[in-house]
Amino acid sequence: MQQIIIHVDMDAFFASVEMHDHPELRGKPLIIGALPHERGVVATCSYEARRFGVHSAMNIKEAYRCCPQGIYMHPDFYKYKAVSEQLHAIWNTYASAAQTIALDEAYLDVTAAAKDWEGARRIARIIKQRTWDELGLTCSVGVAYSKTAAKTASEENKPNGYFEILTAEDFVRLIIDRDVRVLYTVGAKTAEKLRSAGIRTVRDIQERPADVIRLCGRHGQWLVQLASGRDERAVTPYRPEDAKSIGREVTFQQDVSDHAVLRDVLILLAFCVEHRAKRVGLRGRGITLKLTYSDMKQITRSHLIPQTDSAVTIYQETVRLLEQLPQRPVRLIGAGLYQLSAEPEERQLSFDDQTDDAPHSEETARRLLLDGLRTRYGLDFAGNLEKIYNYEVLHKTVEYLRQHRTKPIQD
Ligand code: TTP
Ligand code: MG
């Protein structure tokens, strides 16, 4: 059956939210991400900043070279998450199936609600209008016969765009002379592989299907299909509650080799992960430690434990994983929970487990972790832990730990 799919994507999402909250920033080149004197990248930037060549994932130093007059701000993920929940709630009203792709992006199957293309246009108009009326933000909407075409359509007239692609023929006509990267799943690696064989555009894929399949195997078969406009994938309902993992990570301004510092940073990360997990009511059975070394080599170590959302357990388990690794300069460290579930795990408790000591020991262990930070650095989080859940405070605190490791403050 013919599907009618809408793809909706917010314009310069983080930056637009900040401009909405701070009207004095409107019309200015606003860059959300690291600050120019820090290590890190651009998360996103306003369309005004894009005119200077700034874009997502660009190194912040390079962004600063392109746009020294820009306004630089750290992201506030909690704020964007809260806005995102409201956005998806509006959009999902019109869909029989909604697939959340990102905080600011979703596929909506509106086949039933729309009935025909005219109905789909009406829904697209309402979605744009309500997004603006209720949140003061603009989005771009694509209406199409397939997911790939809907995504391409929403990008076609950004920002505040609307575009429709009603047939496979229209889609092919639109993209035939574009770079292969216009096709869903073609990233830098695949594009390079194809380019090495002289396949640069969608037309090249259409004209040389055998070469594409020889170079890329099953993925190649999919690309040949997409290049002729065929994509019958359904919108598969997905909600953030189905998230595969909850994690938090930080990049140091200078590499850290000392495991004592990394352990202290893991205390902070563990509390942050606990906070996120509790906020969405999820516990994890898997614990992950992630490190990026100074040579950019990245490793993750994981193992399974009884279901938890406790900072103490997250800390203890990530430290165990850390201790198995050699001391090398670390650039980024992260802690995470996976195999998440909202349902309590069925666990065989022995009578020993059921003594009243358990909550006390958890409380004591939390206090010990925080006391440690107070003793070693003079940082007193007891009572106002929520400070470090803020991106900016967390990063500042981590930097503080790094800088003070050689001269610990005594009680
Ligand atoms: P995008 O939808 O890719 O970008 P955008 O909404 O900022 O801009 P556009 O108008 O082009 O859609 O990503 C949504 C948000 O996700 C973005 O506001 C910030 C965040 N993000 C990152 O943090 N890092 C990244 O590399 C990208 C691409 C996005
Ligand atoms: Mg967007």
Q: Quick check: pTM over 0.75?
A: no
- Give dist(CA 93, CA 73) in Å, integer: 33
- Provide residues with CB under 6 Å of ligand 1: 9-14, 43-44, 56-57, 102, 104-105, 158-159
Q: Is the pLDDT of residue 347 over 60?
A: no
Crossing angle, helix 77-92 and helix 117-135, to 10 degrees? Answer: 140
Residue 76 CA: which ligand is closest?
1
Q: Which residues make beta-bridge pairs with 140?
A: 9
Q: Is the pLDDT of residue 204 over 80?
A: yes
Q: What average pLDDT does the segment 149-155 reach? A: 97
Q: Which residues make beta-bridge pairs with 301?
A: 289
**C-alpha dihedral sign at 306, 307, 312, 314:** positive
| Contact of 201 with 175, CB cutoff 8 Å | no
Name the residue with tokens 């909706």. 8
Phi first, then psi: what are they for 32, rounded to 5°?
-105, 130
Cα of 190 from ligand 2 centre, angstroms: 24
Residue-wise pLDDT for 282-333, tens only, equals: 889 999 999 999 998 999 999 999 989 999 999 999 999 999 999 999 999 9
Tokens read off for 280: 């969405």
Q: What one-character DSSP code corresponds to residue 368?
A: H
**Is residue 134 flagged as an active site residue?**
no
For the chain, percent of residues with pLDDT exceeding 70: 93
Structural domains in the chain, sorted by start: 13-75 (3.40.1170.60), 145-238 (1.10.150.20), 240-404 (3.30.1490.100)
Residue-wise pLDDT for 179-191, tens only, equals: 999 998 898 889 9
State the pLDDT at residue 184. Answer: 86
Preceding amide of 359 cis, omega within 30: no
| Contact of 409 with 400, CB cutoff 8 Å | no
DSSP string, 251-284: EEEEEE--HHHHHHHHHHHHHHHHHHHHHHT-EE
Tell me how long the chain is: 411
Comparing CA positions, the residue from 60, 54, 57, 58 lying closest to residue 39 is 60
Residue of the CA atom closest to atom 20 of ligand 1 = 43
Q: Any residues with CB less than 8 A from the CB of 385 and at least 6 apart, and which?
A: 271, 275, 370
Catalytic annotation, pick one of 18, 105, 164, 274: 105
Name the residue with tokens 């942050």. 272
Q: What angle do CA 360, 362, 363 make, to 5 degrees?
A: 65
Question: Please, where are the H alpha helices in 51-201?
Answer: 60-66, 77-92, 111-114, 117-135, 147-156, 168-175, 188-196
Q: What is the number of the ligand 1 atom nearest to the C-alpha of 42? A: 24
- Give dist(CA 171, CA 377) in Å, integer: 60
Name the residue with tokens 């007891």. 382
Residue-wise pLDDT for 238-284, tens only, equals: 776 667 889 999 999 999 999 999 999 999 999 999 998 887 778 89
Cα of 380 from ligand 1 centre, angstroms: 35
- Going from the C-alpha of 302 to that of each of 258, 283, 287, 319, 331, the distances in angstroms are 21, 16, 5, 11, 19
